[in-house]
């Protein structure tokens, strides 16, 4: 009977398994093959050697890492206080705050990115306000540079940090904080010695998740960067659709995949620790 149930269960999931293999695993295997294969010489590592010989690739990788790091730090600075503030709200106000955080998921990333052009453009709301207040005579160049890309990425990815961090914060037992207060600890000590350490695993897991998403971001850097901010995703688009050099693009993608897998492994480990607290 058990064997029959197992056979029936496998028959149900077999189409999904085939879809996963064809739609996800096969393209990745093909990409890895291109990175290590040459039609003339067979197996080769010259595509990776070409990355080291051309400084432009290393600069793009470094630029991507730097922008991803800055955007992630911006999310931490904004997201942690926001999640902490949401925890202190009453039930109805908390639901409203959660809805406002989740609301961007209902809007296309493309629309949200173009909205930043309206806000940060030379004739946008921010520049008009700065000139009206007399803080500047000329429009400030927010767009088509690293600043605009960082602002757009931080905005799009902020919910990915706030939501898991908030979920960890509401699981903290208030009696722990009350016990520390009853022992004479001031609010600052309670926060740094009791509250903050309990949120560190969730904060670290959310940080790694946001950083990993930043590495492969394409739409926002392409629009807000205007082609002037080189990142890995834009470089891959050039190597595949314009030059094209598929082997070089595959080598870069493989490096990015390895970095993402390492970060994801660290994220999963920290996520398990956060779930256990």
> For residue range 194-215, what is the model confidence (pLDDT) as tens digits?
899 889 888 988 888 898 888 8
| pLDDT at residue number 4 | 54
Instruction: Answer yes or no: are the C-beta atoms of 18 and 10 closer than 8 Å.
Output: no
- The average pLDDT across 261-270 equals 77
Q: Which long-range contacts (CB under 8 A, 24 or more apart) does 46-52 make?
A: 47/247, 47/248, 47/250, 47/251, 48/251, 48/255, 50/248, 50/251, 51/248, 51/251, 51/252, 51/255
| pLDDT at residue number 174 | 86
- The average pLDDT across 216-231 equals 84
Instruction: Answer yes or no: are the C-beta atoms of 48 and 251 closer than 8 Å.
Output: yes
Structure tokens belonging to residue 235: 């470089």
Mean pLDDT estimate for the chain: 83
Question: pLDDT: is 241 or 169 the higher one?
Answer: 169
Domains belonging to the chain, first-starting first, are 52-276 (1.10.3720.10)
Q: Name, in order, each residue with C-beta under 8 angstroms of 91's C-beta and a sequence gap of 6 or more.
A: none
Element (H, E) at 132: helix 125-132
- Model confidence band, residue 2 (pLDDT cutoffs 50, 70, 90): low
Residue 273 has pLDDT above 70, yes or no: no
| pLDDT at residue number 1 | 47
- The average pLDDT across 37-49 equals 73
Instruction: Answer yes or no: are the C-beta atoms of 216 and 67 closer than 8 Å.
Output: no
Q: Residue 64 class from Cβ within 10 Å (0-12 exposed, 13-18 middle, 19+ buried)?
A: buried
- Model confidence band, residue 263 (pLDDT cutoffs 50, 70, 90): confident
Residue 162 has pLDDT above 90, yes or no: yes
DSSP label at residue 43: E
Residue 146 has pLDDT above 60, yes or no: yes
First-to-last CA distance in the chain?
40
> For residue range 56-98, what is the model confidence (pLDDT) as tens digits?
888 888 888 899 999 999 999 999 999 999 998 888 899 999 8
Residue 5 has pLDDT above 60, yes or no: no
Instruction: Answer yes or no: are the C-beta atoms of 43 and 37 closer than 8 Å.
Output: yes
Alpha carbon 266 to its chain centroid, in Å, reads 14
Phi, psi of 254 (to 5 degrees): -65, -40
| pLDDT at residue number 80 | 94
Q: Name, in order, each residue with C-beta under 8 angstroms of 168's C-beta and a sequence gap of 6 or more.
A: 198, 199, 201, 202, 274, 277
> For residue range 104-120, what is the model confidence (pLDDT) as tens digits?
888 888 888 888 888 88
Structure tokens belonging to residue 63: 């630029």
Residue 240 has pLDDT above 90, yes or no: no
């Amino acid at each position: 009977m058990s064997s029959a149930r197992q056979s029936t269960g496998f028959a149900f999931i077999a189409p999904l398994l085939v879809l996963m293999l064809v739609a996800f695993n096969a393209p990745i295997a093909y990409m890895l093959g291109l990175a290590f294969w040459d039609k003339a010489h067979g197996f080769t590592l010259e595509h990776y050697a070409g990355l080291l010989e051309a400084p432009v690739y290393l600069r793009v990788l470094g630029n991507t890492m730097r922008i991803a790091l800055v955007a992630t730090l911006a999310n931490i600075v904004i997201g942690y206080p926001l999640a902490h503030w949401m925890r202190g709200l009453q039930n109805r106000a908390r639901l409203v705050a959660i809805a406002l955080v989740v609301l961007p998921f209902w809007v296309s990333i493309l629309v949200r990115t173009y909205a930043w052009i309206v806000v940060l453009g030379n004739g946008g709301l921010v520049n008009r306000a700065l000139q009206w207040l007399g803080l500047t005579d000329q429009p400030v160049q927010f767009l088509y540079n690293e600043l605009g890309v960082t602002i757009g990425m931080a905005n799009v990815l902020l919910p990915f940090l706030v939501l898991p961090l908030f979920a960890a914060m509401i699981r903290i037992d208030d009696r722990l904080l009350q016990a520390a207060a009853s022992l004479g600890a001031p609010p600052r000590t309670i926060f740094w010695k009791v509250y903050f350490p309990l949120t560190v695993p969730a904060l670290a897991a959310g940080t790694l998740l946001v950083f990993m998403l930043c590495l492969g971001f394409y739409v926002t850097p392409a629009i807000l960067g205007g082609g002037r901010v080189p990142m890995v995703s834009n470089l891959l688009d050039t190597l595949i659709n314009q030059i094209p050099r598929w082997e070089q693009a595959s080598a870069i993608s493989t490096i990015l995949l390895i970095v993402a897998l390492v970060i994801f492994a660290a994220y999963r480990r920290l996520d398990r620790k956060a779930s256990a607290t």
